[in-house]
Amino acid sequence: MARIKIKIPSNKLFETTLNVRIDDINYGNHMSNDSVLRYAHEIRLQFLKTQNFSEMNFYQQGLIMGDAAVVYKSEAFHGDKLKATLYIDDITDYGFDFIYSLDNEQTNRPVAIIKTGMVFFNYTERKIAKTPEEFRTKYAI
């Protein structure tokens, strides 16, 4: 079986800390796989807020998720503090990738690497939109 590989870029945009909550825990007594995408959403929203943007208004366009991938590295448990780091990669004509790394602050072990393919979206017209030039210029890789 081929494994997904997600490369962590060097252009760190944002860092925050998230606490593993009791409702993030599954029957295996560790963080559930569905929690990882919720963490990505939280990290993304925190970053956008620091830039005075939202998912509905990012460089005069909306954002919608086109795809997602997760590589699990180790378990996380209730009460763990996760250092979350956000990067931008692969800017295209209609979107880009957010790359997230989650690392356990206590053990320094990587927990997960996440990629969400974000597409610029015009919510009024309900269709994809071109990548704004201002965004492309600011985040040129």
CA–CA dist 120, 104 (Å, integer): 32
Does residue 73 lie within any of the structural domains? yes
Does residue 115 lie within any of the structural domains? yes
Q: Taken in order 26, 29, 32, 36, is the CA torsion positive or negative? A: positive
Structure confidence at residue 140 (pLDDT) = 85
Q: How far is CA 17 from CA 31, 64, 103, 121, in A?
A: 16, 24, 9, 29
Structure confidence at residue 115 (pLDDT) = 98
- Residue 6 CA, distance from chain mean position: 12
The residue range of the domain holding 25 is: 12-138
Does residue 3 lie within any of the structural domains? no
Does residue 127 lie within any of the structural domains? yes
Structure confidence at residue 18 (pLDDT) = 97
Structure confidence at residue 87 (pLDDT) = 98
Does residue 52 lie within any of the structural domains? yes
Q: What's the domain count of the chain? A: 1
This prediction's pTM: 0.95
Q: Give the pLDDT means over successive 10-residue stretches in the chain (141 positions).
A: 91 96 95 95 98 97 97 97 98 98 96 98 97 94 69
Does residue 51 lie within any of the structural domains? yes
Give the domain CATH number at 36: 3.10.129.10
